[in-house]
Chains A and B, each alone.
Chain A
Amino acid sequence: MVGALPLMVSASQSRGSKRRSALWRLLAAAPPLVFLGVFFAWPVSAILLRGLRPHGSWNFAVFGEVFSDPSMRRVLWFTLWESIASTVLCVIVALPAAAMFARFRFKGKRVLWSALLVPFVLPTVVVAVSMLGVIGGGGLTGVNLNGTVWAILIAHVFFNYAVVVRTVGATWSTIDPRLEESARTLGAPSWRVFRDITWPLIRSSVAAAASIVFLFSFTSFGIVLILGGISHRTLEVEIYDQTAKFLHLDIAAVLAIVQLVVVVVILMWFGRSQRRRSVLLEQRSASETERSTETSRQRWLIRSNILFMAVLFGVPLGLLVVRSFSTPNGWGFGFYQALTDTRGGSTSFVPPIDAVGNSLLFALLATAIALVLGLCAAWAIVGDGSKNSSIFSRWTDTALMIPLGTSAVTVGFGFLIVFDEPPLNLRSSLWLIPIAHAIVALPFVVRLLVPGLRSIDPRLREAASMLGASPRRVWWTIDVPIVGRALAAAAGFAFAVSLGEFGATAFLARPDRPTMPIAIYRALGRPGDYNFGQAMAMSTILMVLTIVVVTVIDRFRPAGVSEF
């Protein structure tokens, strides 16, 4: 499918026919939209209907019941302000790091860039237990934030930092630093350079990242349950309880619709600020834009960023690694050796190490699905800049993001009632796992690809074909180098999303094919040093694996990028 892209692109450009290009775009948008229609919209609307139209007649009275319930209103208000606060906080603390990665050369940069994704993939319960060891009172710091909204905010920053740093950092690194340098030479103070030069250029990627952080915080589940104590509840928690615990599908449906409406409104708002971009700018490759540090202020920027990351990530994750080596018989690899133990050959103790293979396989499939569909979607969204195309883009973009703002339990229970007949009797099919992961990964892929595609100046392609380049050659020398970097970043994100996905997998995984987060969760569900240690060892392996895989993908640069 990827191979079809150059033909499409060049066909639409060289003939220059607006109508024809609109048709192409529609066709490109079809696979991702059909995919989402079948695997998301259909199950979700089925479960909502089951709640609102239980015996063939509509039950709208439940809306009134829910909205007049003060505890529900409290939940909604808390969810809203908690997610806005998390998003603002996350963007503020992550922007300096994005600048650091975009602008400077320093030791260990590549590994750190990849390692950023580690928090993003770790199962919530593992991180939360580690965090309790740091800020749970009686822990390393002696500070007790357990049950406060601060614990929730810190954890949200912990999980979403990478989203902002990597999304904004990638865009920032393609901006020609000479723009900023000339402004400075002309006497502008740093804050003005940032406000007038840099900010307009990175704004759309900040909006893209912020909307994802918002969605994750808005639908936060595990963090709120574990660190927020029992008085803090989000809409997501309430939806889970009403669906899976009480089977009050009517109340759950109302809450899910509220969640959907808020998510769409917020996404449209973010979408608007994303489109307000300024100029088509020639992109630079990262190696051209990074500088070695010169002034002490620059060195201070790097040091303080690294210190911040060391505290936020190093301490809780370090504690986790330390615990994975701290066996009852002293320091050692005991828990790691135990991972290969079949433990009397139990069905649920398929050697936990097998989960590594399962996770990699599912992640590979999910990444492939997400990249193919993501490329189609991104290309359709970029469009030709006409008014019709921008309305179309806005809706496609929003549609792709909606799954991130929907509760896994709504989708999971929806699967149960729609995929129950041939030819789609998929309820116990292993295919649902990579499919579910791809749905979650798709918005990341699209958000990383769109800015890249959008920044391609059509005149570049026109010039190339005018000079006699074949369509394939135009694609290879113009599109690939520009999109390639975004594609590599997108693959990394998709892979990481799949490795770490838990909510949907918990409903879909079969006991004989657990993924790593499932295996970790399983071990943590049983008492004893042996089980706890295995969970920590498995988490450490998941961390290392993430770093390795993402480093490899980050290193992969399509040929020709250096000529660009």
Chain B
Amino acid sequence: MKRWFAVAALALVVLAGACGSSGSSSKPAATIAPVLVNGALPRFDTPVTLRVMTHDSFAVTQSVLDEFEAATNVKVELIASGDAVAMTNAAILTAGNPVADVIFGFDENLLGSVLESNLLQAYTPQRLSTVDKSYVLDASGMATPIDHGDVCVNFDRAAFTNSANQIPTSFDGLIQSPVTNKFVVEDPSTSTPGLAFMLATIAKFGGGDDTSANAKWLSYWKQLKANGVSVVDSWETAYYGSFSGGSGKGDHPLVVSYASSPPAEVADTSLAADESPTGVITETCYQQTEFAGILRGAANPRAAATFLEFMLGGSFQADVPGQMYVYPVVMGTPLPDTFAKYTAPVTNPLTLPYTDVAAHRDRWIAQWSALFR
């Protein structure tokens, strides 16, 4: 009997204590001084634990991370928080009293909400000067670009073999009869690449300000619909369940995926670049940049700044393609061989100003949904 009382009483005490102490103070964020020492990462005198919040596709080679820990005396604890959208919203919900010190992996489509919700504190990494300027979107120093990729239509080379049935090379090719019922896309309301492809059509055809059902970009989607485009919930279902190329198990030879997907399908690296099982329609590519930032209320802002510098350092940047299938943002970073050989160069990807995306995204999704649901 005593045992029961003890358990119940303990739980109640804990509960009451926890209730009583809620209500967080929002201290003003102090500016963080530059951390690099002669261009190198600083070393902390006492061991520090740094918590990094990431989406669940984050990956880095263990030895690269070990080097960082050994050099700086900072122990990294990774916290995965679902996909990029769920992670960002979890961070917004806990703004000011964050789960972690650093957040990594929100893209330009989330940048607007991140900046609006006063989630981050500013730090402009000293190494930002090595980054290709076209990826530096936020002038306030809140969001640091780390990597970039492109969402593009991928094709199954084996399905396009004769002259009557050639690989489409443009948006226009996707609404022609040879590819009727052959194209699968992801739902922009549930999938990140799906959203990027919808934004690509808005960037391409315009009409983003048109709130009617006759917006120019929607006319393109009407033609896609008439040509039997199929829409699925996620990249996994589209690529493995519906796509016929490479490791896909379905019967659609065209799918919305990434510019970096084809190298993953090459088992035999003696193949020529134009013989890889899958390829990319470069005209359809939409740019996606991933950012990192220091969360406001971080326990260790200086260690967090050190981690940002590390992510822009040579070893992390060179590690990014092999681990996360994306490109480094620091100019002159060498690419792995298969990457260089089997990814088509995307010279002029489509983009939209992130402020436009933040302002109109929900309405665009609603317009799209009205057509497809």
Q: Do A and B come from one complex?
A: yes
Indicate whether B257 reaches chain A with its CB closer than 8 angstroms: yes
B237/A129 in contact, CB under 8 A: yes
A522/B56 in contact, CB under 8 A: yes
B4/A28 in contact, CB under 8 A: yes
A347/B89 in contact, CB under 8 A: no
B189/A245 in contact, CB under 8 A: yes
For residue A428, which residue of chain B has the nearest CB? B79
Partner of B89, one of A247, A427, A522: A247
For residue B22, which residue of chain A has the nearest CB? A421
Which residues between 236 and 254 of chain A lie within 8 Å of chain B, taking CB atoms? Answer: 241, 243-247
Shortest Cβ distance from residue B70 to the other chain A in the assembled complex, whole angstroms: 15
Shortest Cβ distance from residue A356 to the other chain B in the assembled complex, whole angstroms: 19
* Bound Cα distance from A521 to B57, whole angstroms: 10
Kindly supply a per-residue 1/0 record for chain A positions 213-245, scoring 1 wherever the CB is within 8 Å of any chain B CB and 0 otherwise.
Answer: 000000000000110011100000000010111
* Bound Cα distance from A432 to B109, whole angstroms: 31
Partner of B3, one of A4, A416, A421: A4
A346/B90 in contact, CB under 8 A: no
B240/A524 in contact, CB under 8 A: yes
**Given A31-B4, A132-B250, A345-B63, is A525 in contact with B362 using a C-beta cutoff of 8 Å?**
no
Which residues between 167 and 210 of chain B lie within 8 Å of chain A, taking CB atoms? Answer: 187, 189-190
* Bound Cα distance from A529 to B278, whole angstroms: 13
A531/B264 in contact, CB under 8 A: yes
Indicate whether B287 reaches chain A with its CB closer than 8 angstroms: no
* Bound Cα distance from A71 to B369, whole angstroms: 11
* Bound Cα distance from A531 to B233, whole angstroms: 20
B85/A245 in contact, CB under 8 A: yes
Chain A residues closer than 8 Å to B251, beta-carbon distance: 137-138
**Given A241-B189, A417-B94, A509-B80, is A129 in contact with B241 using a C-beta cutoff of 8 Å?**
yes
Q: Which of B10-18, B29-37, B136-144, B145-153 contacts A (4 or more CB under 8 A)?
A: B10-18
Q: Which of A34-42, A159-167, A296-304, A471-479 contacts B (4 or more CB under 8 A)?
A: A34-42
**Given A30-B7, A526-B264, is A345 in contact with B62 using a C-beta cutoff of 8 Å?**
yes
Chain A residues closer than 8 Å to B1, beta-carbon distance: 27
Chain A residues closer than 8 Å to B3, beta-carbon distance: 1, 4
Chain A residues closer than 8 Å to B14, beta-carbon distance: 38, 423-424
**Given A241-B190, A245-B189, A420-B94, is A506 in contact with B51 using a C-beta cutoff of 8 Å?**
no
Indicate whether A136 reaches chain B with its CB closer than 8 angstroms: yes
Indicate whether B246 reaches chain A with its CB closer than 8 angstroms: yes
Indicate whether B372 reaches chain A with its CB closer than 8 angstroms: yes
Indicate whether A392 reaches chain B with its CB closer than 8 angstroms: no
Count B-side interface residues using an 8 Å CB cutoff. 74
Indicate whether A418 reaches chain B with its CB closer than 8 angstroms: yes
Question: Chain A: interface residue count, which band?
Answer: 35 or more
Indicate whether A454 reaches chain B with its CB closer than 8 angstroms: no
* Bound Cα distance from A526 to B56, whole angstroms: 11
Inter-chain contact total with CB atoms closer than 8 Å: 202
Indicate whether B54 reaches chain A with its CB closer than 8 angstroms: yes
Indicate whether A64 reaches chain B with its CB closer than 8 angstroms: no
Chain A residues closer than 8 Å to B89, beta-carbon distance: 243-245, 247
Chain B residues closer than 8 Å to A244, beta-carbon distance: 82, 85-86, 89-90
* Bound Cα distance from A125 to B235, whole angstroms: 11
* Bound Cα distance from A176 to B8, whole angstroms: 41
**Given A345-B63, A347-B78, is A527 in contact with B15 using a C-beta cutoff of 8 Å?**
no
* Bound Cα distance from A521 to B187, whole angstroms: 19
B61/A506 in contact, CB under 8 A: no
Counting chain B CB atoms within 10 Å of each CB, the highest count among A28, A34, A50, A347 belongs to: A347
Kindly supply a per-residue 1/0 record for chain B positions 304-328, scoring 1 wherever the CB is within 8 Å of any chain A CB and 0 otherwise.
Answer: 0000000000000000001101000
Indicate whether A133 reaches chain B with its CB closer than 8 angstroms: yes
A529/B267 in contact, CB under 8 A: yes
**Given A34-B11, A423-B14, is A129 in contact with B236 using a C-beta cutoff of 8 Å?**
yes
Chain A residues closer than 8 Å to B241, beta-carbon distance: 128-129, 132-133, 136, 226
B237/A132 in contact, CB under 8 A: yes
Partner of B59, one of A125, A137, A346, A427: A346
Kindly supply a per-residue 1/0 record for chain A positions 504-527, scoring 1 wherever the CB is within 8 Å of any chain B CB and 0 otherwise.
Answer: 001101111000001001101111
Indicate whether B220 reaches chain A with its CB closer than 8 angstroms: no
Chain B residues closer than 8 Å to A50, beta-carbon distance: 93
Indicate whether A444 reaches chain B with its CB closer than 8 angstroms: no
B17/A423 in contact, CB under 8 A: yes
A34/B8 in contact, CB under 8 A: yes
Partner of A511, one of B7, B54, B249, B257: B54
For residue B54, which residue of chain A has the nearest CB? A511
B80/A524 in contact, CB under 8 A: no
Shortest Cβ distance from residue A182 to the other chain B in the assembled complex, whole angstroms: 46
B249/A133 in contact, CB under 8 A: yes
Indicate whether A357 reaches chain B with its CB closer than 8 angstroms: no
Q: Mind listing 20 A-B residue pairs with CB under 8 Å?
A: A27-B4, A34-B12, A50-B93, A125-B234, A129-B236, A136-B242, A136-B250, A225-B233, A226-B233, A244-B86, A247-B89, A247-B92, A344-B322, A348-B59, A420-B94, A420-B97, A510-B77, A518-B56, A525-B57, A530-B247
Q: Which 4 A-B pairs have the closest CB atoms?
A: A528-B264, A345-B62, A348-B59, A138-B251
> B residues touching A (Cβ–Cβ < 8 Å)?
1, 3-5, 7-8, 11-12, 14-15, 17-18, 21-22, 24, 51, 54, 56-63, 65, 77-82, 85-86, 89-90, 92-94, 97, 99-100, 113, 187, 189-190, 231-237, 239-242, 246-247, 249-251, 257-258, 261, 264-265, 267, 322-323, 325, 362, 372-373
> Apart from A245-B85, A420-B22, A528-B246, what are 19 other A-B pairs with CB-CB below 8 Å?
A27-B8, A30-B7, A38-B15, A129-B241, A133-B249, A136-B241, A244-B86, A246-B362, A347-B60, A347-B65, A348-B57, A409-B86, A416-B93, A427-B99, A506-B56, A521-B56, A522-B57, A527-B246, A527-B257
> A residues touching B (Cβ–Cβ < 8 Å)?
1, 4, 27-28, 30-31, 34-35, 37-38, 42, 50, 71, 125, 128-129, 132-133, 136-138, 225-226, 229-231, 241, 243-247, 323, 328, 342, 344-349, 409, 413, 416-424, 427-428, 506-507, 509-512, 518, 521-522, 524-533
